[in-house]
Structure 1
């Protein structure tokens, strides 16, 4: 289980203090998938980074009683002066994994070809995301953190990612952030709306989505309901 209590995060900017998260609390049990909706800048990615341990909260607690991934497709844990191959070797050593097996898997999954032998600083953002996702899959975490995975690659690659996550690892806990409301609806068992630094939890997606649309002032476009809204 992951237990988050009274999580606060304050950043210091040149304009003063910026409160991003203000008393966020939730529990996540094995097999549960929490989908989080929120406007841009609401603090969704910040919350995921705190849960992963990539950043520390200003106050509050995170009790991790299961292994937790870094945010999928996030390359912050990697060394950009090293090649993709050397980053796989580095991660394999840290997690006591078989390097040759991991290399074969990542090469096949990420489809980076000769760029696997090039330093990450030469990669496009999409290539970095593909490598980061593939490397994330070589470690069998209990909980996966998914931040806008829909931005990684084309439709075929999305299908590969979804197969790895929701079919091969369907028993894992997950926290999912996406601007695609249908993606969050289809892949989650619980939902939350993050607004003004606070997280409201829901057991019904339609209720969560209705509240989210009200918070952002969404109005039906001409031709609705034949035009599906985005949640950007």
Structure 2
């Protein structure tokens, strides 16, 4: 049973998996994307702010629980403001996928199942619950087709989907112009929009570097 509204990390994790639990994108790419999603969760929820284009801790109010709280503490403990690129790199260094999977399962967005591959290797699949996947896909589809005005959450999620190459795979036919309209417009404040762009660029650059490294290791 779904017990809460999805975070950006929840939503990205759900969209990155097919209904049978297989990933649509590579695990490394997903981990990088989740690093960006975690940062944007903090910004959109008001646990971090943007000052002169850099991320700063919001020291008032309680620290949230779970993964987002652990990441919030990291920003609070940093003596100086840092760029979005810095935090995306820091957050993706943590094993986010398992943490996000556990919390998404606890909130009813996915269920985890273990199968055996080749009779030897245990493979864990994270199967999105039908309701969660339908609600997230429907919301993003409405935004991308112009039937829903995007808010900060929508703009951030679409930016993350673009950076991780999920838009073409999960929402085929979406035009570049519409993606630009969603990620650059709506009610998103200028400061938040800049950080979304920074986080999006950091995710995109990290993914390109990962792909190039993989190609080089294979002799391409």
Write 1 or 2 for the structure with the bigger share of strand. 1
Write 1 or 2 for the structure with the bigger share of helix. 2
Same fold (TM over 0.5): no
TM-score using structure 2 length: 0.29
TM-score using structure 1 length: 0.28
